[in-house]
Amino acid sequence: MDVRREIAALLGQPISDIAPLGGGCVSAVYEVRLDDGRHVVVKADDSGAGNLPVEAFMLGYLAERGLPAPAVVAASERLLVMEYVAGDSLFDAAAESHAAHLLAALHAHTAPAFGFDRDTLIGGLRQPNAPAASWLDFFAGQRLIYMATEAARAGRLPVTTRARVERLAGRVGDWLVEPVRPALIHGDVWTTNVLARGGRVAAFLDPAIYYADPEIELAFIGLFGTFGRVFYDQYHALRPIAPGFFEERRDLYNLYPLLVHVRLFGGSYVGQVERTLAAYGF
């Protein structure tokens, strides 16, 4: 792909400067300055997967509901052009507190069912969202079993481990309870998907949206240490976290993002999945 030429054609504007940005594990990412002075970020993907229009939709959906996200300038099958948002992925106490307020507000948005009215993406992978009345059924089938099956099909998860995931999925009700209502989640809140500046969150990037139990979002935030105690304390003050989350439910919810990482990368994530299964008796 001639990225410079395709960006100029999509925007109808010559490029004055272009430089690669880090952090794009699925698509190539560029910082671009246009001749008219605009400063944008461009994702390029010539795989034919058609993921970029889905990402553009998700960013717009979150922004319409009050979560700071880069504005989409233009999108095609091969390019996603977004406004440039200044910031970095370093969070002081003020930024963590702001993130808690933003996500608590996001989680107040609800829907008639768990899932979504279309499939979305996580890490460039299809994320099925067939609407379901039961969160436990949705999480077991469309998150745990689905992603374990995809990871096994890709040759990155042993079929015996996939069978263990299926057995655990059949018993999630031993630890989880049905939430009162579905909540809108970002779905992929980890360090490099959040930008902060001056003690405020400037933008959330790379969403993986659907309506869920918001505890799955809180669990993933802790998996890679994105935010710490300040975040959880402030979130709890706004939307109380039910007892037992950290002790019983967090690791079970994190089995899903671990399976996503197995499907994408394999390696040591398989061991983390197997240790989680063993901790729950499977």
pLDDT tens digits, 149-192: 999 999 999 999 999 999 999 999 999 999 999 999 999 999 99
Look at residue 1 and tell me whether its pLDDT is greater than 90.
no
43 pLDDT band (50/70/90 cuts)?
Answer: very high
**What number does CATH give the domain 3-83?**
3.30.200.20
Of 45, 188, 206, 251, which is the active-site residue? 188
- Note the pLDDT of residue 23: 60
26 — pLDDT class (breaks 50, 70, 90): low
Task: Tell me if domain 3-83 and domain 93-279 are identical in fold.
Answer: no
Cβ-proximal residues to 262 (8 Å cutoff; 6+ apart), any chain: 151, 156, 157, 269, 270, 273
Of the given ranges (13-27, 36-50, 258-272), which has the lowest mean pLDDT? Answer: 13-27
The answer to whether residue 88 is catalytic is no
Domain over 93-279 is classified CATH 3.40.50.300: no
CA distance 41 to 69: 13
Helix (H, G, I), strand (E, B) or coil at 93: helix
The Cα 175–Cα 141 span in angstroms is 16
Q: Domain extents for the chain?
A: 3-83, 93-279
Cα dihedral 137, 141, 143, 144 in deg (nearest 10): 110
Cα separation, 227 vs 218, in Å, equals: 10
What is the arithmetic mean of pLDDT over 10-23? 89
**Half-sphere exposure (CA, 13 Å, Cβ side) for 243?**
0
Dist CA 251 CA 219 (whole Å): 7
Q: Dump strand ranges (E) for 77-220.
A: 79-83, 120-122, 125-127, 183-185, 194-197, 200-204, 210-212
pLDDT at position 49, please?
A: 84
- pLDDT of 47 reads 86
Q: Between helices 146-153 and 159-169, what is the axis angle to 10°?
A: 180
Has residue 24 got a pLDDT over 60? no
Q: What is the pTM of this model?
A: 0.96
pLDDT-derived band at 25, boundaries 50, 70, 90: low
Mean pLDDT of the chain: 96
